[in-house]
Amino acid sequence: MESNWNQAVEADSDIPQISESGSWFWRIMNKGEHVALQVSDKLLKPLTEAKYLNADNVSRYRCIMRIFYENNEKLNYWLYQEDVYEEMKKDSYWSEYTIEQCQQDLASLVEWKNLNTMQDTKKVASIEEFKNKKYRYQISEYSVQIERLVLRLENLLVEGASLEPTLLERIRRNVEKFSKMVEEEQADVNAWWNDLNSDFVRLNQNYQDYIRDLNSVRAEEMMHTKEFMVFKDRLIEYLRSFIKGLQRNVGVIEEYLRLLDEKAKKQVFEKVTAYQFAIPRIDIELSKKQIEENVIGRFESIYNWFVATDGHENEAAKLFDATNEIIRRITRYAAELSEKNSLGANRKEEYKKVAELFMKCEDVDEAHKMSAMVFGIERPVHISGDYDRVTDSMNQGVYEEEPICIELKPRIRAYRMKTKRSSIVESTEKKLEIRKKMLQQQKEEMNRIRLLEKDGVIDFSELPVIEPRIREILLKWISDAMESVDFSSRTDDGRTYQLEKTSGGETCTVHCEDGNFTMPKMRLIFGEKPI
C-alpha cells in the first residue's frame, strides 16, 4: 500500500487526482505521514434525514420518530397512520392533535426520507378504498442511527463516562491472540477483530470524556466545596485502580504489538478484509482496497495508542500522566479544604470556657466531676508535653506534684520562632567520602555484572540467580535501549551496548534472590568504545 501511495504522489503531487469512482483526493504531507481525504457524493450531499430535528413543528416530528424508533427496537417495523395517531394521543400534551396533522407530518417525514412507505392492499374492500391508498410506514436506516445518536446525547449527563480497567485487560487478551488468528477461520477472525476494535473505541472515548469532565469548570468548582470531601477518597481510589490497570496491561500490550510478525499481520488483515468484502450490502459499494485501508488504519490507531514511535510519547503514557495529575490536584484541594475547616477551631476560647466552669464549682468534688466530664477518657483533650514527672505512680494526684509551666505557641501562619544564626558548616570532606563510597559501590556492581557476560553478551535466558540490585540495573539498561531508535545506549561507566530482541514472541525466566519473573527473550551486546 505504501509503494502505491508514493507512486501516486510522485506522479502528480500538486494537482488533485480523480479516482475511478469519481472521488477527489488531496495528498497532504504531515510529519512524514500520508493523509488522504476522499470527497465523495455522499459526503457532499445534504443530509435531509436530519431536517426533522430543526424544522417547524419539530416537537411533533421528534415524537413521531421516537414512536417509530421504539417500535423498531421491539421488532415492530411497520405502523399505520392510525397507530401513530393513537400513540400520540396517549399523552395529554397532544390532546388537540388531529388526524389531519398526523397525515401531514407523516408526509413530510416521507419526503425527508425518514420513513419508507408501502401501500397496503390486503384490507381493500372497494375501489374507493384502493384509491385512498392506505399506507404502512417504516423508519429508515439513517433515521434509526440518528435517533440512537439523539438518545445518547439526551442521556449524556446521566450515563457519564468512566475508566474501566477491564477494557484494558480485554484488549490485552485479544492482542495476545493476534498470532493465533492466522490459523482461524475468516468468521472467527472477523469476530475477534470486531471485539478488539469495539473495546479500543470504548476505551478511547471513555477516557477522553472522563478526563474532560474532571478538568471541566464544573468539576473545578465542585472540588472547592465541603461536599467534595465526602467522596474524595472514593474518587482517588477509583483513579488509582485504573492506573494499576494501565501499569499491568499497557506494557504487555506494547511489547506484543512491537514483536508482531509482519507476515502474520498481513495474513490476519487479508482474512478480515475478505470476510467483510463478502458481506452482501444493499445500496453500498465498497471496494476491497477501501476495506483493506480501513482495517490497516484501525490497526495503526491501536498501535500508535500503545506504542511510542519516532520519539513521541504514546497515548497510554499521556493518559497515565493526566490521571496522576488529577490525583495530585484532588489531594491538594482536599488539603486546602481541611486546613480551611481547621481554622474555625479556637482552642483558646475552649479552655477559657472550661476555666469559667471550674471557677463556678462549689467544692473540690464537683471540680473532680467536672474534670472527669471535660478531660475524661471519652473526650481526651489534654495538653501533651515533653516534661519529667517526679513519679509515674497512678496513685499520685496532680495536686501533690509541682506545677509545670507550659508555653503555648500561636497556631497561625504568620508566627515564626526566633532562630539563632549559625555559621555555615564546611562539609566538603563528608561529600568526598560519600562520593568515594558511591563510586566504590558502582565499581563493585559493574564487576559483578561483567561476570554475567559471555564473550561480551548478557543473555537473559542463561543468567544464574542474580541479586535484586543487579536485576534493577539490567532492567534499567533495557529501558534506556528501548527508548532509542536503534535500541542502543551506554552504561554509567561509558560502555556501549545494543539490545537484541527475538521476533517470535519467545520468553525466558530470570531467577532472582527475591523471586522469579518472566520476560521476552533478549540479549545485551556490549561494544568496546563509548558512544
CB 163 within 8 A of CB 206: yes
DSSP-assigned letter for residue 454? B
Q: Is the dihedral of CA 270, 276, 278, 282 positive or negative?
A: negative
pLDDT of residue 371: 85
State the pTM of this model. Answer: 0.41
DSSP-assigned letter for residue 485? T
CA 125 to CA 136: how far, in whole Å?
17
Domain assignment present for 407: no
DSSP-assigned letter for residue 137? E
Helix (H) or strand (E) holding 501: strand 496-501
211 and 309 together in one domain: yes
CB 172 within 8 A of CB 199: no
179 and 305 together in one domain: yes
| Beta strands, E only, 184-312 | none
CB 465 within 8 A of CB 451: no
Judging by beta carbons within 10 Å of its beta carbon (0-12, 13-18, 19+), is residue 277 exposed, middle or buried?
middle
Q: How big is the CA angle at 107 (ends 101 and 108), to the nearest 5 degrees?
A: 90
221 and 308 together in one domain: yes
26 and 109 together in one domain: no
CA 331 to CA 236: how far, in whole Å?
8
Q: Please tell me whether residue 477 adopts helix, strand or coil conformation.
A: helix
For residue 317, what are the contacts with CB-CB under 8 A and spacing of at least 6? 308
Give first-to-last CA distance, the chain, whole Å.
Answer: 37
**How many other β-carbons are positioned within 10 Å of the β-carbon of residue 209?**
16
212 and 118 together in one domain: no
Q: Which residues of the chain have pLDDT under 50?
A: 1-35, 157-160, 529-531
pLDDT of residue 108: 92
Q: Please tell me whether residue 168 adopts helix, strand or coil conformation.
A: helix
Domain assignment present for 198: yes
Judging by beta carbons within 10 Å of its beta carbon (0-12, 13-18, 19+), is residue 250 exposed, middle or buried?
buried
Total residues belonging to the chain: 531
178 and 274 together in one domain: yes
CA 339 to CA 342: how far, in whole Å?
5
Domain assignment present for 191: yes
335 and 354 together in one domain: no
- Taking alpha carbons only, the member of 325, 194, 203, 188 closest to residue 253 is 203
End of a domain among 128, 150, 172? 150
CB 74 within 8 A of CB 80: no
End of a domain among 106, 124, 150? 150
Phi-psi region at 71: left, alpha or beta (left = phi > 0; alpha = psi -120 to 50): alpha
352 and 369 together in one domain: yes
Q: Residue type at 381?
A: V
pLDDT in tens, 355-370: 898 899 989 889 888 8
Q: Which three cell numbers stand for residue 28?
A: 497532504
Q: From residue 518, how far is each of 153, 280, 291, 506, 522 by CA, in Å? A: 46, 46, 38, 10, 11
6 and 115 together in one domain: no
76 and 98 together in one domain: yes
159: phi then psi, degrees, rounded to nearest 5: -70, -50
Domain assignment present for 403: no
CB 45 within 8 A of CB 70: no
Domain assignment present for 410: no
CA 327 to CA 345: how far, in whole Å?
28
Structural domain containing residue 198? 163-342
- Taking alpha carbons only, the member of 102, 8, 13 closest to residue 63 is 102
Angle between helices 347-359 and 364-375 (to 10 degrees): 160
142 and 226 together in one domain: no
Helix (H) or strand (E) holding 80: strand 79-80
Domain assignment present for 233: yes
Angle between helices 228-258 and 315-342 (to 10 degrees): 160
CA 12 to CA 18: how far, in whole Å?
11
- The string of DSSP codes covering 48-62 is GGGGGGSSTTHHHHH
pLDDT of residue 106: 93
Domain assignment present for 37: yes
Domain count, the chain: 5
Rg (CA), the chain: 37
CATH number at residue 96: 1.10.10
Helix (H) or strand (E) holding 497: strand 496-501
End of a domain among 316, 342, 368? 342
- Taking alpha carbons only, the member of 202, 199, 200, 198 closest to residue 210 is 202
CB 446 within 8 A of CB 515: no
Domain assignment present for 158: no
337 and 194 together in one domain: yes
